[in-house]
Amino acid sequence: MTDLSREEARRYARQITLPNVGAEGQRRLKHARVLLVGAGGLGSPAALYLAAAGVGTLGLVDFDVVDASNLHRQILHGTAAIGTPKLDSARARLADVNPHVCVETHETRLTSANAMEILRDYDVVVDGTDNFATRYLVNDACVLLGKPNVHGAIFQFEGQASVFCTPDGPCYRCLFPEPPPPGLVPSCAEGGVLGVLPGLVGTIQATETLKLVLGLGDPLVGRLLLVDALGMSFRTVRVPRDPACRACGTREITTLIDYDAYCGTPMPNQDDDALEITPQELAARRAAGADLDLIDVREPHEWAEGRIAGARHIPLGTLAGAIPSIDGSREVVVYCRSGVRSLHAVHQLRAAGIPAVSLAGGILRWEDDVGVG
């Protein structure tokens, strides 16, 4: 039991008893270094179970603060942590789960400028991100560094998991060579998520990470696990390695790029202020009898659940075809759930010569600030 204290041997006794783990496997876990990108819905269960299992060093990358809307799924954090950095909350919780684990925190946004340096010293990377730009960034950095990438993603009632970037397996780009059009796929904030779902997927990610460290079983290499919580079904589809993949196939990608630009991610900047109207400003314009063309770019099920009075419905995915029906001489105001998709729509409309603006904060902020239809 060299390198395992008596207290550690007692703590991990049920795991050490496993014939394929034993004391040697537990020592491997103790000396392993695992990086979790994101301390949110997926990172929470993954971090808790990896810490409990005795992974010696856990790295956490996050730059967000705990919000009340996180708590139904991000179980690393509690009510008392609202308004505090997620990494502070995570560090305290993991220390309580297992004081033998070293928690290394990276309170920063993962970017092309710092990804290689942060990922370099870890054995396995667990991707718990919620946006395409960071997923492509993590993937490309893992390919370049030769690090396994334990992937997870969730949306509403469905999730997926896989293991990418191993020497003999595919990478994320083999499955998704190019990102979807900007704004086409809503985030969890836009589309919602069942709170327990990231628990399912994040625990699967933790399981795959332990298998990789211990060299056990058949990891999800070359397979994508699809989780349907409503049907409670799990199925896998094959993901072959693509010889033409620019990352792991042809190796055309030799350096990290601007992934926000690559994925068309709108970055907050001063220019966006000129593209938005606040709920109070919109309410005042309506009260003054302004000739407004109010456009709701949410999905049909969101529109059916409620809308701002007087709006018309043009889902974002159909906006390009509907542009001829929009009169640019009127005041065009676009809204969605929280203001993300509507900004995409405004950029699209302005490129077509229509000086539209986005409702800041979307219908959620409208309901909070104005509270009427």
Q: Is 248 a catalytic residue?
A: no
Q: Which amino acid is present at 189?
A: A
What region, left, alpha or beta, does residue 232 occupy, with left being phi > 0 and alpha being psi -120 to 50 degrees? left
The pLDDT value recorded for residue 268 is 47
CB 262 within 8 A of CB 190: no
- Where does the chain hold its CATH 3.40.50.720 domain(s)? 32-263
The pLDDT value recorded for residue 272 is 55
Express each pLDDT in 10-36 by its tens digit. 999 999 999 999 999 999 999 999 999
- Where does the chain hold its CATH 3.40.250.10 domain(s)? 270-369
Q: Is 336 a catalytic residue?
A: yes
Q: 334: helix, coil or strand?
A: strand
Intervals of the chain under pLDDT 70: 1-2, 182-184, 186-187, 189-190, 265-273, 372-373
Selected catalytic residue, list 165, 171, 263, 336? 336
What top-level class would CATH report for the domain 270-369? alpha beta
The pLDDT value recorded for residue 270 is 42
CATH number of 32-263: 3.40.50.720
Selected catalytic residue, list 188, 245, 248, 263? 188
Express each pLDDT in 261-274 by its tens digit. 888 765 544 455 67
**Is the pTM value of this prediction over 0.85?**
no
The pLDDT value recorded for residue 269 is 47
The pLDDT value recorded for residue 196 is 96
Tell which residue, 92, 86, 44, has the closest CA to residue 62.
86
The pLDDT value recorded for residue 190 is 66
